[in-house]
Amino acid sequence: MKILVPLKLAHRNPVIQTSLHFACHTASDLVFLHIIDTTPIKRSFLTEPESMREYLKERGEEILEEAQKVAGNCGISIKTELLEGIPDEVIAVESRDYDLIVMRSRVFSPREKLGSVVERALSRIEKPVMLVNREKKKFETCLVPVDGSAESLKSLYEIKKRREIYRFKKIIIIYVNKTSDEEIEKKEIYEHHIILESAENIVKNVSEEIKAEVIEIHHGNIAEAIIEFGRKNKVDIIFMGTKGKSGLSRLILGSVSRDVASYSTIPVILFPEGYIP
C-alpha cells in the first residue's frame, strides 16, 4: 500500500508519527509531501517575488528534513517530495497514485464551510483519507459505524478485501438508533435487524484471527455516540463513509462524518462516495 502524507508543518505534528505507525503496521510505502503555496506569491506586491519563492522552498525543505528525522529508520520505504501550487489542488492530483492520504483534522473550519485545505481537498480526492487529531501507535481494533446505506457498508468491504494489510484483531460494527425504545415500532425493529445482519454477513468468516462484534445503541446524536463509544471501548481507528442515508452532496462532507472526524481523538479513515474497495 502507498501512503501520501501532506505536511504543512513538522514540529509536534501528530500526523507524522501516526502515519509512520500505520505504515509500519500495514507494511506500506510512505511519502511526506510539502507544497509551496503559490497563492501568496501571486498575490504579493513585493518587487522580488522570487525571493519569497526561494524562502518558501527552503522552509519546505526544512520541514521535510525534520519529518524524515522523526521517522528515523523504521524499516519501511520513506520518501519526501516538494511541489509548488495550490495545496488542495496538488493533493488531489497527487492522491491518484496512492492508496491512502493522511492529513490533520483540526484544521476543519468551525462554521462547517469549505475553507480549509483539508475540506477543499476532501471534495476532490477519490481515495480514502485518514484524518488525525492525536498520535496513535497501534491499530488493532476498528470501529465501523453503519446506517444501512451502501456508503456506510463500503468500509466493511474494504476491511474484507485488505484484511491481510490492515491486520485488525477486532472489528466492532455499531448502529446508532436515534429512536428511543418507547417510540420504536415493529417495522423499525425489523429494519434495524436487517441493517445489522447485512453488516455482519460482510465480515463473517473473513479470518479466524479477527473477532467481529455487532452492536446497536440508542443515542440522540449519532456523531457523539460514535466518538463516545470509540473512547470508552479503546478503539484504535474508525472507518466510515463520507455520505450516508442523508444523501448530501460529496462537495460537502456529511454532517456525521464531519463531526466525527473533527472531534474524535481517534484517527478516522473516510471513504469517499466514488471510491470502490
Per domain, the residue ranges of the chain are 2-132, 141-271
Which of the pair, 274 or 144, is modelled with greater confidence?
Answer: 144
pLDDT of residue 112 exceeding 80, the answer is: no
Q: Give the helix/strand (H/E) hosting 91.
A: helix 87-94
Alpha-helical (H) ranges within 139-221 are 150-161, 163-166, 186-203
Residues 6+ apart with CB under 8 A from 168: 139, 140, 141, 142, 159, 210
* Predicted local distance difference test score (pLDDT) of residue 196: 74
* Predicted local distance difference test score (pLDDT) of residue 52: 81
Which of the pair, 151 or 232, is modelled with greater confidence?
Answer: 232
Which of 67-76, 107-116, 147-156 is the least confident region?
Answer: 107-116
**Are 196 and 149 contacting, i.e. CB atoms less than 8 angstroms apart?**
no
Class for the domain spanning 141-271: alpha beta
Rounded to 5 degrees, what are φ and ψ at 15? -65, -35
Look at residues 243, 256, 238, 245 and name the one whose alpha carbon lies nearest to residue 172. 238
Average pLDDT on 184-213 reads 71
Q: Is 167 left (phi over 0), alpha (psi -120 to 50) or beta?
A: left
| Averaged confidence pLDDT in the chain | 83
pLDDT of residue 245 exceeding 60, the answer is: no
> Identical fold at 2-132 and 141-271?
yes
* Predicted local distance difference test score (pLDDT) of residue 113: 41
Average pLDDT on 159-181 reads 86
Residue entry with cell 428511543: 180
**Are 154 and 122 contacting, i.e. CB atoms less than 8 angstroms apart?**
no
* CA distances for 209 relative to 113, 168, 238, angstroms: 42, 9, 19
Fold assignment, 2-132: Rossmann fold (3.40.50)
Instruction: Count CA within 13 A, CB hemisphere, residue 220.
Output: 0
Average pLDDT on 22-44 reads 86
Which of the pair, 75 or 216, is modelled with greater confidence?
Answer: 216
pLDDT of residue 30 exceeding 50, the answer is: yes
Report how far residue 197's alpha carbon sits from residue 191's, in angstroms, rounded to the nearest whole number: 10
* Predicted local distance difference test score (pLDDT) of residue 32: 97
